Structure 1
Amino acid sequence: RIWLSWETCMMSRKQGRNKIAKLLIPLPPNLQEAGDAQDDDHYTCDIRDIPETHRHLVLVLGMPKCGTTSLHYAFESAGFRSVHWALDAGIDLQSDRRLREWGEGASQRLICELMRCAVNAGRPPLADLPQVDAIAEMNGLYWRHKRRQWAEGYFPQISLLEKLLHCYPDAHYVLNVRDHDKWVKSVDLHNDMRQRLVCAELPGLPSGCGQLDEELVTWVEAHHQRVMSLLAGARLLVFDIERDGSLELSKFFGRRMEWDCHNATLY
């Protein structure tokens, strides 16, 4: 097996922008003689094979309706290239609505689907998002049928948690939390999110569960405990969106961050 130097990895990723590119890496003479090389004395390396552990990322691991839009704007205020639930969100509101409701264009735009496809192909979760520094919301939840009986849901912050920690040990992780009762109320008032949660098959929340407030609260509490247990000693900020603000964010990231309330559900 041929190992690339750290300098080569950094240079190649910068030049290749993480696209499927080919690098010609000189081989030692003994391997050239063994006939393992291509193009006489070079080894062709797929840039996707280069480890991603050097990427300095911000990954939000909390739930939707928990300040993710505000975090997205806070990240942008500090210069991060942030995405919130989908690529190009906010440019075409009608397209966004069709994506949120029916999953139209999910494989090209929805963050959770891009992450799932990358992992299913044996690549790091964010391999198809090389232009991104921060993910403010990574989950997706949409209807699979016009009759609204089955929902497709994928929460990478749950399903891919261990893989995220393995692939991105140097990332800054944010667990956004809030009062559970207020979170449930916000979910109820955000279109049909409660119904989609009930109709989806999610880890810890099988289809049919979530109709009772207690079921949703238990599900969220279990996720929070798992995150805090697995990330003990890592770069984790438990951020209470109702108590914390610019000071906590700025201190954690080591740069000035602006915190304001965006996309709040009124009740």
Structure 2
Amino acid sequence: MGLDVINLGLPKSGTTTLRLALEAAGFRVADHRLKEREDPQDPSDRAFVGAMLYEGLYKRGDPAALLRDYEALTEISFIYGGNSIWPQCDQALLLALRKLHPKLRFVATRRDTEEMARSIMRWNNLGKLRLPLSNVPGLPVGYGYELDEQMIWIDGHYEALAHWFRNDPFYMEVNVADPHVVPRLERFLGRKLPWWGQANANPADRSVSTDTTPTEGRG
């Protein structure tokens, strides 16, 4: 087993939908936190996927070193305990992954920019508090309180990815609302996806019923 696909999408871009789809297809997925590596007796203990990527890079020389038990990573950013970690925005880390794992597939989930920004703004305290008060690549402290600021940040992220991965056959941006998303992903991943839907939606956004439970800061 080893990493086969990493999602570089931002929160509320369809990350939970992708996780469920990949799990249904048989992938072993790490999403946001590795709860099996946390001390259940210590409520402050958190094992975040993003932290594992950086520990792997700086302590082992390979961002994937501590995540070899997984085939897919679907949510890799986090804001917690004064830390604001965004591997999907770090060109140096992504370049290290590409050099060390030349056939690693990168997916970037996204939605309509305004819909995505509105979803971020409504999701618990993510858009109204945590993002504007944290150092986020492309969105310095004090920015992100307004919808148009969120939209600039969102578009900038995906434009940067498109530039970094131009002509890379192992990168694909995925609009989760695209009616052709499933066959496109199946061709890209080389595996059938028996499930696709809308997961972890804000109540106002929910158009497809799911059995998932919303988790703070993700989507």
* 2:74 paired residue number: 136
- CA apart distance, 1:162: 2.5
CA distance in 2, matches of 1:176, 1:113: 21
What does residue range 53-202 of structure 1 map to in structure 2 within 5 Å?
Answer: 55=2, 57-88=4-35, 104-106=44-46, 109-144=47-82, 152-159=83-90, 160-194=93-127, 195-202=129-136
Post-superposition offset of 1:56: 5.0
Q: For structure 2, which runs of at least 5 residues remain unmatched after alignment? A: 205-219
- 8 A contact 1:142–1:196 mirrored in 2: no
* 1:167, distance to aligned residue in structure 2 (A): 2.6
Identity %: 26
Aligned length: 195
2:174 maps to 239
SS of equivalent residue, structure 1 residue 121: helix
- Report the secondary structure of 2:56's partner residue: helix
Q: Is the Cα–Cα contact under 8 Å of residues 3 and 67 in structure 2 kept in the other structure?
A: no
Q: 2 CA distance for matches of 1:164 and 1:204? A: 21
Corresponding residue of 1:250: 186
| Counterpart among 140, 145, 156 of residue 211 in structure 1 | 145
2:199 maps to 262
Amino acid across the alignment from 1:251: R
- The gaps in structure 1 that reach 5 residues or longer are 1-13, 15-54, 99-103, 145-151
CA positional deviation for 1:143 = 4.4
Larger relative contact order (Cα-Cα within 8 Å, sequence gap ≥ 6): 2
Q: CA deviation at 1:136?
A: 0.6
Deviation digits for residues 108-147 of structure 1, max 9, x if unmatched? x111111122222252112111101100110011243xxx
- Aligned partners of 2:7 and 2:109 also within 8 Å: yes
SS in 2 for 1:199: coil
Aligned partners of 2:121 and 2:147 also within 8 Å: no
Equivalent position amino acid for 1:247 in 2: P
Q: CA deviation at 1:88?
A: 3.1
Matched residues in 2 for 1:57 and 1:248: separation? 17
State how far apart, in whole Å, the 1-side matches of 2:110 and 2:74 are.
13
Distance apart, 1:79 and its partner CA: 1.4
Report the residue type matching 1:200 in the other structure: S
C-alpha separation between the residues in 2 aligned to 1:266 and 1:136? 22
Give the root-mean-square deviation of aligned CA atoms: 2.2
CA–CA separation in structure 2 for the residues paired with 1:168 and 1:223: 23
TM-score under structure 2 normalisation?
A: 0.81
